[in-house]
Structure 1
Amino acid sequence: MVKLTEVEDEHFVEKPIGTKNDALLLSDDEDDYTDTDSEISDASDDELEEETIYDRISALKDIVPPSARHTVTNSIDAITSFGKASLSFSGKALWIISTSAFLIGVPWALAYAEEEQYIQMEREQGMIKGANEMLTPGSEPEKNDAAQQIL
């Protein structure tokens, strides 16, 4: 069987020194506070040099309460899922628009360019006719000459 014994701290056994206003005064004896310097100051310097940023950030999770961590985690999950869905939708929309442009736009552009060539050729022929009429002002148009030759 285990027997428990109570060990009293020496600070609680001695009565504090009072003054005339019942205010407590600190004792001049500094030996009482020497035991707090031993482990904290020596070990912390070595551990800080070996500690990484990841270790520091992972230690911060103990500071934040679980409800706040849950809220932050849900918010981050919602943002990432929205981002993934947006990128997926954008990629699919870009694919549809680009293939539609190739299947519809390229043939239309080729037909438009061909039509512009025909219009340009007609203008050139009209300019050639106008130039011929200016060079020979007294002659009849070519259509009449061709019609007279046939008759």
Structure 2
Amino acid sequence: MVNLIEVEDEHFTSEKPAPTQKDVLLASDNEEEDDFTDTESEISTESVLELETETLYERVIALKDIIPPQSRRRITDTVSGLSNFTKSTLSFSGKALWVISTSAFLLGVPWALAFAEEEQYVQMEKEQGMMKGANEMLTPGANAAAALGGAQEQQSQPAL
């Protein structure tokens, strides 16, 4: 059978010095509520220097033993799966973007050039039509007389 023995810390067993009213800055009526503080530090300055030089990576590695192996394996599998999914998604996106951009250059640029050339032809035909209309407005009888004169010559010839 196991026997448990309570060992009291000397910090709590030492007698609290009784301050006089002259020594105390803030006096309270209830002395039991006053906290006893030990002015001697038990922490060495070497351990503080070690903590300051320790990197974040070293601290995370030290926490590895706190997490159970099953949880670590599950976390590792999740992170690995997520990174693989991200890599494959980025790889597929890059390849798809390459295919789309090269297709646009190979098919789109010649189509755009042909479309622009067709638009130029349509614009030239409109300009020629406008010039023909402007010439008819300036000399309205010339074309009509030429057309009538040609028609009269055909009528004046005897039929054979």
Instruction: Indicate the TM-score class for this superposition, using the shorter chain for normalisation.
Output: 0.5 to 0.7
Q: 2:96 aligns with which of 69, 73, 93?
A: 93
| 1:95 Cα deviation from its structure 2 partner | 1.2
| Matching of residue 102 in structure 1 with residue 105 in structure 2 | yes
Deviates more, 1:52-61 or 1:126-135: 52-61
Secondary structure of the residue aligned to 2:65 is coil
| Matching of residue 52 in structure 1 with residue 55 in structure 2 | yes
Secondary structure of the residue aligned to 1:126 is helix
User: Closer, same or farther in 2 for the Cα pair 1:136/1:27, shift >3 Å?
Assistant: closer
User: Closer, same or farther in 2 for the Cα pair 1:62/1:136, shift >3 Å?
Assistant: same
User: Closer, same or farther in 2 for the Cα pair 1:27/1:64, shift >3 Å?
Assistant: closer
Q: TM-score, normalised by structure 1?
A: 0.66
Q: Which whole-Å deviations, capped at 9, do the CAs of 1:42-65 have from their partners, x for residues lacking one?
A: 153232122111111111212111
Q: Which residue of 2 aligns with 1:112?
A: 115
The aligned runs of 1:1-151 (5 Å cut-off) are: 28-29=13-14, 41-42=43-44, 43-140=46-143, 144=147
Q: Aligned partners of 1:56, 1:140: CA distance in 2, in Å?
A: 100
Is there any run of 5+ residues in structure 1 with no aligned partner, and where? 1-11, 17-25, 31-36
Q: Which residue of 1 aligns with 2:34?
A: none
User: Closer, same or farther in 2 for the Cα pair 1:76/1:28, shift >3 Å?
Assistant: closer
- Runs of 4 or more, structure 1, over 3 Å off, are 26-30
Q: Aligned partners of 2:12, 2:67: CA distance in 1, in Å?
A: 39
| 1:27 Cα deviation from its structure 2 partner | 7.4
| 1:82 Cα deviation from its structure 2 partner | 0.6
| 1:135 Cα deviation from its structure 2 partner | 1.0
Q: Which residue of 2 aligns with 1:34?
A: none
Q: TM-score, normalised by structure 2?
A: 0.63
Q: Aligned partners of 1:77, 1:27: CA distance in 2, in Å?
A: 51
Q: Aligned partners of 1:87, 1:44: CA distance in 2, in Å?
A: 46
Is there any run of 5+ residues in structure 2 with no aligned partner, and where? 16-40, 155-160
Q: Which amino acid aligns with 1:74?
A: D
| 1:71 Cα deviation from its structure 2 partner | 0.9
Q: Aligned partners of 2:118, 2:99: CA distance in 1, in Å?
A: 28
- The alignment of Structure 1 onto Structure 2 pairs a total of residues equal to 118
Percent identity (aligned) = 56
User: Closer, same or farther in 2 for the Cα pair 1:27/1:144, shift >3 Å?
Assistant: closer
- The structure with higher relative contact order (CA 8 Å, sep 6+) is 2
